Chains A and B, each alone.
Chain A
């Protein structure tokens, strides 16, 4: 799951696949995503995993680990 999430994020942001991404990495602080990048990434997760991620949940994601945990809870 982490690898898939990482792949989607890097593709959406147009970053190299060898960019260092850990569960502690923050989309906005470390990967310099802006608010619309974040929405586009959330949409890509929704399409890929066939789930809905409401804004109220997305606002709580502090780092990639939070995102992976949320998606795992919804697809389990």
Chain B
């Protein structure tokens, strides 16, 4: 199946006062129609930067190389007008903070209508009707009334639903959800995930789900790409990854995340010692070697590349035996 979104060798470097910082290094992944790809990793591993670079939303201090193809159209290096016509229409975003991601001085209806009028050229009335329809689609009760509310009149979960309504207003091919549930109460999270799942099923939208929450991944994703220090270190179908993680970092992530019934009695959660390094340049070594319990000599002298096949891993000493995490 031809991918809707194909990211190939995407690299992002930021110019900073302390010199260049490499945030993303030759990241590649593909998303097919209706597929949910989860990109997971710790804070600072380059997930969000990868997401933002897809539609050219990074600040001017960023240098982006590589290729991002959306249905055959190259987006890296595309002119601003082309990018604008794609944003919100073909590629839409949902951000982490529903509190601050909506403009406080406009009604939620207005903010949805704005997308419709910009991209589809609906007239005011048609756009208004469509906005109500969209609010209903994402499960907002009494949408006719809510359409005239300001963001501060809605709860966090409702605001995130509004964000989603806004994002899917033009029926985009790809929805990029950057930590869509992180800022929400656990009880609200499930509702938001239901909405996303429903959209995928009803509209066939492909979703790139950026998260550090493995519970969310297990709940929604078809495939997973694990990122570490700007690189994809492992990618596999979701069940396969959870059952047979091969990269020591993935094993660490799974071990650090709580699961119902497990750990409840005596065990503490495992942690991965150390922090994600900030890299001025990508070294010719495995960037996880310093924190890795399985590191061997090769790890510090040569950079591992992703293997081929459905379950790909970039590691010199992958975990092949079954591990208990």
A binds B: no
B-to-A contact residues, CB < 8 Å = none
A-to-B contact residues, CB < 8 Å = none
